[in-house]
Amino acid sequence: MKLTLTHRNHAPSKSIVELIQKELEALKADLQIDEARVHMERSLTDSPPFTASFHLVTPGPDVIVNATDHTLRAAVLKAFQQIMNKISHRHSKRLHRREVAPAIELSRRRPAGGHRSRP
């Protein structure tokens, strides 16, 4: 997994980087992540000032979340909670589709060639 971190208007913290790496490693059990793009920003005018944006490149649809909070750590943890919510929602949608999808009985299938057999 390739990890790209960008920071704006604040100094990068080693503890925050380690937190992000640890949380991304924990996600590997539920989601194959090819690339993670993380953008952390401190706004000088907005409140709450910290924003954490994650773009996780995965096979299938990418996972993109944004979270804001009054501390950078809280924004990062909030973003990871949103990621987990998206993963679990997609998993439950997939299970629901499998349950609802009608199964074709083998006795009702047409034989090869598309002609119906006559009794």
Complete DSSP assignment for 29-96: TT---SEEEEEEEE-SSSSS-EEEEEEEE-SSS-EEEEEEESSHHHHHHHHHHHHHHHHHHHHHHHHH
- Kindly state the tokens that stand for 25: 């490693």
CATH, range 2-95: 3.30.160.100
CA 19 → CA 2, 14, 83, distances in Å?
16, 9, 15
> Which residue carries 């034989």 as its tokens?
111
Specify the pLDDT at position 101: 64
The stretch 13-23 carries a mean pLDDT of: 96
pLDDT in tens, 65-85: 999 999 999 999 999 999 999
Q: Name the pLDDT band for 97 (thresholds 50, 70, 90).
A: confident
Q: β-strands 35-42, 2-8: how paired?
A: parallel
Specify the pLDDT at position 118: 58
Percent of the chain with pLDDT over 90: 70
Whole-prediction pTM? 0.79
Whether pLDDT at 36 is above 80? yes
Confirm if 33 and 27 have CB atoms less than 8 A apart: yes
